[in-house]
Amino acid sequence: MRIIVLMKQVPDMEKVKFDREKGVIDRKSAGTEINPFDLNALEAAVQIKETHGAEVVAVCMGPPSAEVALKEAISRGADRGILLSDRKFGGSDVKATAYTLAAGIKAIGEYDLVFAGIQTVDGDTGQVGAEVAQFLDIPHIYYVDKIEEVDEESITVVTDIWDGVYVKKMKLPGLVTVTKDINSPRLPAFKEKMKSRKAVIPAWGMDELTGFLDETETGRKGSATMVKRIEVPKAVHRKGLLWRDNMDTALNEFVDILVDKKVIEVE
Amino acid sequence: MKEYSGVMVFAEQKDKEIHKVSYELLGKARELADQINEEVVCCLCGPSEIDVNELIYRGADKVFHVQDEEIFGSPEVMTYVENVVKIIEEKKPEICLFGATSFGRSLAPRVAATLKCGLTADCTGLAIDEEDMKLVQIRPAFSENILAHIKSQYLPQMATVRYKEFDEAKRDESRTGEIINFPSIKIKNNPIEVLREITEEAFNITDARVVVSAGKGLKSPEDFKMIEELAAVLGGVVGSSRPLVEDGFISKAHQVGYSGNRVKPSLYIACGISGAPQHQAGMKEADVILAINSDPSAPIFNIADYGIVGDMYEIVPQMIEKIKGKRA
Ligand SMILES: Cc1cc2nc3c(=O)[nH]c(=O)nc-3n(C[C@H](O)[C@H](O)[C@H](O)COP(=O)(O)OP(=O)(O)OC[C@H]3O[C@@H](n4cnc5c(N)ncnc54)[C@H](O)[C@@H]3O)c2cc1C
Ligand SMILES: Nc1ncnc2c1ncn2[C@@H]1O[C@H](COP(=O)(O)O)[C@@H](O)[C@H]1O
């Protein structure tokens, strides 16, 4: 069994700075990390590998420096990593990203399962997974909270959608996107960390993907949407009446406010 | 005539009941359509006895109804994709809107990828650019830190739109429109089988008028009793920060935040919640926010209208008494 995990390298959201005046994101202001939801996707794949035996391949599309994310993936249990990297991939929107990832997956060859995170913390669309599935012409299940069963032919999962929770069974090959609730990602183990340091991460560009990827379908050229402008909204700041000392007065005043605002109805 | 015209809304239904986001989309669609002088159409997939007229009362000029008594009974994206694609290809709308519900967010990308058009996720604003009459799609990104203004390069201009972002279209029973029925396309050998629906507690936090939430300041699951009681006297429901859900204190349905539910109540009370950006993402649009926290430097105070610095174990019970006293 082969499981492919889609993992994006994202800026560390705690540190990244946003310039309100210029309306730009200063990516250099922060380090990078693996998109948190993709760690859950990787963990789910590694757990299947441990119970059923599988090869786990982490795939990331990004700049050459994103190699470190794939090394980290190996230290967390992936068998190998493949970086999809080419200047021509730059500026990809959801469609172009999904198309390029799908090309990378096709170039890997046979696979049974594709795991993705439900969303990235930067792009934040939650759309890449389903579009990859469509381009690969395989079924997908979104918002997976739990994997009940896996075998060579199918996967049975619990998915939380449409004001309801459903148990669904999908024939393989198929794609699954996972939520943060599916598991708690493990930390890299020492032995794996050493191994990952030596790992060679192949970088595939247009040349390596010949036959799978059309230049007009990737990067800015292949994108169907354009970001026209970025606005950094003012942080929400409110009136902030703060009571510190006399609780009794504080509560009386607050309850009066609630009556005033008709949250509490009194006769 | 233009090849593409009109604003299409995908009307989501479950058990023949139309999701409220569809009415919000219809309100917005009407506004956009009037600006570009075009019609509003709905795409509805479901059994025949759905109250289709309601969509017309809410602003649709035409409803394309793909009728099937069985296949649209459970939310299985694969059974919808081809049907929705067919309606879009038939009608060729200039703008096409889906609710950013969990179902819409799973369906729309497959439809967009099939049509090879763009798709803007989770929009919170939509407007027509006066210059080129194109749709400007505004959406938060980077974990809600920025708002991106996006335009589509191809038609239809497709977007998913957040629930509770726009007002529901007003109902007007005198409105008339056309209903066009279509037979469904059934996919052969559907690779996905819905085995069962797990009936969960019918709890819905998103529509609550008052939400009282607890965070890591809460020491044990039993202590939720006090939070429940405060919620009850205020006619509200209980919410939670993520760590308490992770610790199994309360179910996921109660989680507020980036990876949980977004709420917009009249009153949000945060007890023992620090106010991490991921929590704020789910509650910062509440009308009134009260924070109760023992740490005066907790970030939650920056976005609260009212703050009480102190121990929630003292304050919450007292507050319950005061409110009861007011009512007595
Ligand atoms: C990708 C991602 C998604 C996430 N999604 C969410 C999400 O959807 N929702 C969410 O909530 N978080 C989410 N988080 C987690 C988030 O970053 C924070 O870790 C979390 O919100 C903190 O919860 P808390 O405020 O309850 O706990 P803490 O940060 O530990 O705060 C506890 C607070 O309680 C106060 N306190 C302690 N005792 C008392 C007392 N007796 N009386 C009064 N105050 C007291 C403390 O002063 C402190 O401020 C997400 C994180 C990531 C990375
Ligand atoms: N550049 C990328 N490289 C690898 N995987 C990606 C990339 N972009 C998105 N993904 C995958 O698609 C998921 C959803 O991303 P998004 O639609 O951007 O929110 C992520 O959690 C990843 O699993």
**What average pLDDT does this structure show over B294-319?**
95
- Residue A267 pLDDT: 61
Whether residue B274 contacts residue B298, with contact meaning beta carbons closer than 8 Å, is answered with yes
SS3 at position A178: strand
Contact A174 B191 (CB under 8 A): yes
Whether residue B26 contacts residue B169, with contact meaning beta carbons closer than 8 Å, is answered with yes
**pLDDT > 80? residue B320:** yes
- Residue A235 pLDDT: 74
Note the pLDDT tens digit of each residue in B165-178: 999 999 999 999 99
Residue of chain A with shortest Cα separation from B283? A236
**C-alpha distances in Å from residue B100, one per residue of A161, B96, B97, B281:** 12, 13, 9, 16
Note the pLDDT tens digit of each residue in B8-36: 999 999 889 999 999 999 999 999 999 99
Backbone φ and ψ of A15, nearest 5°: -110, -20
- Residue B200 pLDDT: 64
- Residue B256 pLDDT: 97
Q: Which-ligand-closest: CA of B300? A: 1
**What is the C-alpha R_g of chain A?**
23
- Residue B143 pLDDT: 84
B75 touches A at CB < 8 Å: yes
- Residue B85 pLDDT: 98
CA–CA separation, B270 vs A246, rounded Å? 19
Q: What is the dihedral of CA A42, A44, A50, A54, to 10 degrees?
A: -70
- Residue A265 pLDDT: 77
**pLDDT > 90? residue A113:** yes
- Residue A234 pLDDT: 80
- Residue B300 pLDDT: 96
CA–CA separation, A150 vs A160, rounded Å? 19
Note the pLDDT tens digit of each residue in A219-256: 999 999 999 999 988 877 786 888 988 889 999 999 99
Backbone φ and ψ of A98, nearest 5°: -65, -40
- Residue A30 pLDDT: 85
DSSP H or E segment with residue A11: strand A9-11
Among A143, A138, A88, A78, which residue's Cα sits nearest to residue A114?
Answer: A138
Whether A57 is in the pocket of ligand 2, judged by its Cβ within 6 Å, is no
Whether A125 is in the pocket of ligand 2, judged by its Cβ within 6 Å, is yes
Among B169, B110, B165, which residue's Cα sits nearest to residue B137?
Answer: B165
**pLDDT > 70? residue B60:** yes
Whether B22 is in the pocket of ligand 1, judged by its Cβ within 6 Å, is no
For residue A95, give the amino acid letter: K
Of all residues in chain A, the percent with pLDDT exceeding 70 is 99
Q: In what order do the strands lie in the sheet with B120-123?
A: B120-123, B157-161, B95-99, B7-11, B40-46, B62-67, B178-183
Among A210, A41, A62, which residue's Cα sits nearest to residue A115?
Answer: A41
Residue A252 CB: number of other CB atoms within 10 A?
14
- Residue A75 pLDDT: 96
**pLDDT > 90? residue A23:** no
SS3 at position B83: helix
Whether residue B33 contacts residue B40, with contact meaning beta carbons closer than 8 Å, is answered with yes
Q: Name the average pLDDT for chain B.
A: 94
Among A226, A233, A201, which residue's Cα sits nearest to residue A18?
Answer: A233
CA–CA separation, B193 vs B196, rounded Å? 9
Q: Given the CA of residue A129, which atom of ligand 2 is nearest to it? A: 12
**What average pLDDT does this structure show over B298-320?**
95
CA–CA separation, B47 vs B35, rounded Å? 33
**What average pLDDT does this structure show over A82-110?**
97
Query: From the CA of B319, how far away is ligand 2's center (Å)?
Result: 45
Contact A244 B194 (CB under 8 A): no
Closest Cα to atom 1 of ligand 1: A36
Binned at pLDDT 50, 70 and 90, residue B1 comes out as low
Whether residue A138 contacts residue A162, with contact meaning beta carbons closer than 8 Å, is answered with no
A109's CB contacts (< 8 A; 6+ apart) are none
Whether residue B314 contacts residue A250, with contact meaning beta carbons closer than 8 Å, is answered with no
Residue of chain B with shortest Cα separation from A11? B142
For residue B175, give the amino acid letter: R
**What average pLDDT does this structure show over A19-24?**
78
Q: Which of B119, B188, B198, B246 to mutate to test the interface with A (most CBs of A within 10 A)?
A: B119
B95's CB contacts (< 8 A; 6+ apart) are B6, B7, B8, B29, B32, B135, B156, B157, B158, B159
Count the helices and strands in chain B (H runs, E runs): 8, 18
Count the helices and strands in chain A (H runs, E runs): 6, 15
**pLDDT > 70? residue B201:** no
Residue of chain B with shortest Cα separation from A27? B142
Binned at pLDDT 50, 70 and 90, residue A22 comes out as confident
B314's CB contacts (< 8 A; 6+ apart) are A247
CA–CA separation, A72 vs A54, rounded Å? 19
Contact B75 A135 (CB under 8 A): no
Q: Which of B288, B296, B322 sits opposite A252 (nearest CB)?
A: B322
**C-alpha distances in Å from residue B289, one per residue of A185, B19, B144:** 34, 28, 19
Greater confidence, B190 or A164?
Answer: B190
Which residues of A are less than 8 Å from B323 in CB distance? 255, 258, 264
Binned at pLDDT 50, 70 and 90, residue A169 comes out as very high
CA–CA separation, A160 vs B234, rounded Å? 29
Binned at pLDDT 50, 70 and 90, residue B155 comes out as very high
Binned at pLDDT 50, 70 and 90, residue A20 comes out as confident
What is the pTM assigned to this prediction? 0.92
Whether residue B26 contacts residue B33, with contact meaning beta carbons closer than 8 Å, is answered with no
Q: What b/e string do you get for A121-143 counting C-beta neighbours within 10 Å, with b at 16 or more?
A: bbbbbbbbbbbbbbbbebbbbbb
Note the pLDDT tens digit of each residue in A34-60: 999 999 999 999 999 999 999 999 999
- Residue B271 pLDDT: 98
Residue among B241, B280, B297 to mutate when testing ligand 1 (max atoms within 8 A of CB): B241
- Residue B207 pLDDT: 86
**pLDDT > 70? residue B141:** yes
- Residue A184 pLDDT: 94
**C-alpha distances in Å from residue B261, one per residue of A126, B123, B257:** 15, 16, 6
- Residue B228 pLDDT: 97
Q: What b/e string do you get for B224-261 counting C-beta neighbours within 10 Å, with b at 16 or more?
A: bebbebbbebbebbbbbbbbbbeeebbebbbbbbbbbb
Q: What is the dihedral of CA A136, A137, A138, A142, to 10 degrees?
A: 80
